Amino acid sequence: MNRAAQHERVILLGRAQRAAAVEALANAFHEDPMWSFVLPDTETRTAAYRPMWRAVLGFSHVYGTVHTTVGGEGAACWIAPENRKTTLWKLLRTGFALPRSMIRLPKDARERFFGMMQFIDRRHDELMPERHWYLMALGVAPERQGQGIGGRLLEPTLDRADADDVACYLETQTEANVMFYTKHDFDVICEEREPVGALPLWFMVRPPRPSSGQEAGRSL
Query: Tens digits of per-residue pLDDT, 14-54?
Result: 999 999 999 999 999 999 999 999 999 988 888 888 999 99
Calculate ∠ Cα 151-204-79, nearest 5°. 70
220 — pLDDT class (breaks 50, 70, 90):
very low
Tell whether the model's pLDDT for residue 217 goes beyond 50.
no
Which residues are CB-contacts of 107 (< 8 A; sequence separation ≥ 6)? Answer: none
CB 129 within 8 A of CB 189: no
Question: Which ranges of 64-96 does DSSP label H, i.e. alpha helix?
Answer: 88-93
Architecture of domain 3-219: 3-Layer(aba) Sandwich (3.40)
Percent of the chain with pLDDT over 70: 92
Tens-place pLDDT, residues 131-165: 999 999 999 999 999 999 999 999 999 999 999 99
5 — pLDDT class (breaks 50, 70, 90):
low
1 — pLDDT class (breaks 50, 70, 90):
low
What's this model's pTM, rounded to 2 decimal places? Answer: 0.90
Rg (CA), the chain: 17
Percent of the chain with pLDDT over 90: 76
Q: What is the mean pLDDT of residues 57-84?
A: 95
d(CA 88, CA 110): 19
pLDDT at 179: 97
Tens-place pLDDT, residues 196-209: 999 999 999 999 99
